[in-house]
């Protein structure tokens, strides 16, 4: 391990202290070697510019100039390592330890923190929180528990100063992320107080974060682009038959990824020519038309493409043991494949996951003059206001439509 010397720059000295800290956190020699390469270049860059502190602004400039990294999205595996290395240095400069940015189910926390997750499960059960949101509860709580673990804090020993320190660690995150993080804490901490785990209701310390509702305009593509993606599917092979049926459900009916993954044979009402199921996000039943096009695509897949399996869901993996897609699988690998095959241009910052089919269907219906309540019902929205955000996509096309939007 390198030791600080009197001639070392402040940034290099910080790098040495960070590396010593990471050794205590059981980072492997190979991992540190990858990070050390970036830190060395960061220190040289700081020396050249006369920089004495690890600041996010100049590090962002460094990443852009040396590695072509302009944001955290769409990075290669190597670029993610560079981005993470710079972020660790910023964390250590600011907090004296490194924040965990990714939290997976494989992480095992000490048993003393288990009651936090149990409280979350209790809250979600009492309030009938959807499964997808429950998983998000767990992700955000892991961030909080990681903080407690890094400070070796017992839950019963948490004080106001510790909570304020944790809130500071959230500052680099997006406002929407921070808002949900605080929502989770405000939901769970009162239960810990009620159960006598904490001596006070720590949720009262959580600040409010104002996030503009539906500030982002949903990404949508033209009907021609959507058709080009569908036409790019090779329906002569089993996987292509599956993918085509999946994409049709998203493009023609606007089904959410979670509902496509969970779609079962009993949800297809052939005699009534309809699809009927309980939406995973809202818990509400929705009934949608089963078109001739979609019906034959499903039949073609089930009869000629679907592997022999006992799985109760319609769409399965085409790799043994031919089971259902995982709950965290957003099927983006499927859509990305056909975006590329169809040669669809994706501008920087524009999304191109499965959900864009839903966005595109909504914007197309509105552009064709379909009344907002009808679009809302077709998409399974519980409130018309939720659908109203799609009006932002093609304002020019919609100015001639007389749409009454009730604002609550």
Q: Which residue in 140, 235, 358, 359 is the catalytic one?
A: 358
User: CA Rg, the chain, in Å?
Assistant: 25
C-alpha–C-alpha distance, residues 356 and 335, integer Å: 10
C-alpha–C-alpha distance, residues 3 and 13, integer Å: 8
Q: Which residue in 17, 94, 281, 337 is the catalytic one?
A: 281
Chain segment 4-58, per-residue pLDDT in tens: 445 567 888 888 888 888 888 778 888 888 888 888 888 888 888 888 877 777 8
Check residue 71 and give its pLDDT. Answer: 59
Query: Is 256 an annotated catalytic residue?
Result: yes
- Residue 400 CB partners (closer than 8 Å, separation 6+): none
C-alpha–C-alpha distance, residues 310 and 261, integer Å: 15
C-alpha–C-alpha distance, residues 318 and 233, integer Å: 16
Q: Which residue in 83, 166, 221, 390 is the catalytic one?
A: 390
Query: Is 355 an annotated catalytic residue?
Result: yes
55 is written with which tokens? 């600041």
Q: Which residue in 142, 143, 355, 359 is the catalytic one?
A: 355
For the chain, domain boundaries: 10-95, 111-205, 223-398
Task: Give the strand order in the sheet containing 285-289.
Answer: 268-269, 274-278, 285-289
Check residue 289 and give its pLDDT. Answer: 86
- Residue 97 CB partners (closer than 8 Å, separation 6+): 21, 91, 150, 151
Query: Is 132 an annotated catalytic residue?
Result: no
Check residue 138 and give its pLDDT. Answer: 83
Check residue 406 and give its pLDDT. Answer: 33
Query: Is 105 an annotated catalytic residue?
Result: no
C-alpha–C-alpha distance, residues 218 and 270, integer Å: 33
Q: Which residue in 256, 261, 306, 359 is the catalytic one?
A: 256
Determine contact, residues 211/176, Cβ cutoff 8 Å: yes
Determine contact, residues 91/21, Cβ cutoff 8 Å: no
Backbone angles phi, psi at 27, to 5 degrees: -70, 140
| 10-residue mean pLDDT series, the chain (408 residues) | 56 87 81 86 86 78 78 70 83 72 50 85 82 80 87 89 89 83 92 91 87 58 87 94 92 86 93 89 83 93 93 90 83 86 80 76 64 56 49 41 34
Query: Is 66 an annotated catalytic residue?
Result: no
C-alpha–C-alpha distance, residues 112 and 193, integer Å: 16
- Residue 267 CB partners (closer than 8 Å, separation 6+): 275, 276, 277
CATH superfamily, with its number, for domain 223-398: Intergrase catalytic core (1.10.443.10)
Tokens 């018309």, located at residue: 384
Check residue 377 and give its pLDDT. Answer: 56
Domain spanning 111-205: which CATH class is it, in words? Answer: mainly alpha
Torsion of CA 359, 365, 368, 372, to 10 degrees: -110
Check residue 2 and give its pLDDT. Answer: 46
Determine contact, residues 283/128, Cβ cutoff 8 Å: yes
- Residue 275 CB partners (closer than 8 Å, separation 6+): 253, 263, 267, 268, 269, 287, 288, 289, 290
- Residue 401 CB partners (closer than 8 Å, separation 6+): 366, 369
- Residue 322 CB partners (closer than 8 Å, separation 6+): 307, 308, 309, 311, 316
Query: Is 37 an annotated catalytic residue?
Result: no
Phi-psi category of residue 319: left, alpha or beta, with phi > 0 → left and psi -120 to 50 → alpha: beta
* Residue 175 CB coordination number (10 Å): 13
Check residue 32 and give its pLDDT. Answer: 86
Chain segment 50-84, per-residue pLDDT in tens: 888 777 778 888 888 887 776 555 677 788 888 88
């Amino acid at each position: 391990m390198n030791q600080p010397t009197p001639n070392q720059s402040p940034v290099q000295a910080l790098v040495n202290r960070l590396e010593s800290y990471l050794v205590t956190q059981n980072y492997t020699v190979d991992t540190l070697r990858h990070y050390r390469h970036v830190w060395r270049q960061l220190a040289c860059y700081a020396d050249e510019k006369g920089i004495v502190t690890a600041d996010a602004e100049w590090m962002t400039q460094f990443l852009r100039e040396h590695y072509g990294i302009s944001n955290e999205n769409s990075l290669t595996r190597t670029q993610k390592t560079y981005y993470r290395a710079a972020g660790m240095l910023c964390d250590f400069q600011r907090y004296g330890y490194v924040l965990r940015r990714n939290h997976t189910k494989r992480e095992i926390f000490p048993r003393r923190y288990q009651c936090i997750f149990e409280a979350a499960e209790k809250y979600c059960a009492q309030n009938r929180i959807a499964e997808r949101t429950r998983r998000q509860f767990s992700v955000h709580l892991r961030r909080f528990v990681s903080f407690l673990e890094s400070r070796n804090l017992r839950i019963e020993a948490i004080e106001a100063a510790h909570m304020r320190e944790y809130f500071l660690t959230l500052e680099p995150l997006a406002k929407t992320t921070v808002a949900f993080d605080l929502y989770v804490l405000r939901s769970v901490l009162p239960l810990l107080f009620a159960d006598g785990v904490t001596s006070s209701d720590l949720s009262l310390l959580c600040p409010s974060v104002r996030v503009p509702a539906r500030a982002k305009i949903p990404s949508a593509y033209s009907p021609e682009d959507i058709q080009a993606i569908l036409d790019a599917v090779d329906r002569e092979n089993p996987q292509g038959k599956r993918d085509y049926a999946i994409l049709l459900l998203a493009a023609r009916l606007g089904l959410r990824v979670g509902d496509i993954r969970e779609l079962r044979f009993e949800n297809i009402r052939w005699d009534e020519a309809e699809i009927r199921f309980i939406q995973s996000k809202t818990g509400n039943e929705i009934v949608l038309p089963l078109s001739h096009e979609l019906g034959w695509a499903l039949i073609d897949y089930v009869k000629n493409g679907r592997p022999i399996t006992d799985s109760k869901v319609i769409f399965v993996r085409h790799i043994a043991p031919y089971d259902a897609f995982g709950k965290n699988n957003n099927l983006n690998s499927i859509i990305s494949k056909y975006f590329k095959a169809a040669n669809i241009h994706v501008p920087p910052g524009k999304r191109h996951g499965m959900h864009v089919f839903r966005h595109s269907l909504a914007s197309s219906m509105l552009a064709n003059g379909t009344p907002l309540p009808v679009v809302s019902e077709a998409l399974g929205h519980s409130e018309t206001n939720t659908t109203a955000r799609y009006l932002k996509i093609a304002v020019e096309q919609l100015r001639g439509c007389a749409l009454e939007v009730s604002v609550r």
